[in-house]
Amino acid sequence: MTTTQIMQRILVWGAILAAAVAVVGGVIGWMLAEGAGLASALVGTALAIVFCMLTAGSILLALKASRGQMVSGAFFGIVLGGWLLKFVLFIVLVFVLGDQDWLHRGVAFGALVAAVIGSLVIDCVVIATSRQPVIDSAADDETQGRPASGARA
């Protein structure tokens, strides 16, 4: 599975998450606070989309910065920095949105938590279940009939 396919998978599952947050949160929000509850659920939906795009963007940026080497400090630093950015964004949004009169605090918080946790679960599951080919260059050289690098001819 290529990195592009992994990112596509994250975005597809993110869209499913966003739809679920919109429908479930919208129904619950409407029952609790009518228009304000529905608006709160839609804010959570928008955040689910943003969080998933942050993941995809950070991984693609990390691959470019590390020149395709997934086992590098630059790669891990950028990806973990993206996850840290999500966490900080979550905390900031809780405080900023908590003071808005047009939102129902409980529904907004629930939708936001569902979006953040769902996004992180999607990231972890998709990355953990993706099959990345690992090729040992020395073994590849031997199968091509060339002596392995470092091996004596």
Residue-wise pLDDT tens digits, 74-116? 888 988 898 898 889 878 887 887 778 888 888 888 888 888 7
pLDDT beyond 90 at 30: yes
Is 140 a domain residue?
no
Is 100 a domain residue?
yes
Is 134 a domain residue?
no
Question: What domain range is 124 assigned to?
Answer: 3-129
Is 89 a domain residue?
yes
Is 60 a domain residue?
yes
Is 81 a domain residue?
yes
Give the 3-state secondary structure of the chain: CCHHHHHHHHHHHHHHHHHHHHHHHHHHHHHHHHHHHHHHHHHHHHHHHHHHHHHHHHHHHHHHHCCCCCCCHHHHHHHHHHHHHHHHHHHHHHHHHHCCCCCCHHHHHHHHHHHHHHHHHHHHHHHHHCCCCCCCHHHHHHHCCCCCCCCCC
Mean pLDDT of the chain: 80
Query: How many domains would you assign to the chain?
Result: 1
Is 148 a domain residue?
no
Q: Quote the pLDDT of residue 130.
A: 83
Taking only the tens place, the pLDDT of each residue in 66-81 is: 887 777 888 889 888 9
Q: Are 114 and 44 in contact (CB under 8 A)?
A: yes
Average pLDDT for residues 17-41, to the nearest whole number? 90
Is 150 a domain residue?
no
Query: What is the pTM for the complete model shown?
Result: 0.65
pLDDT beyond 70 at 141: no
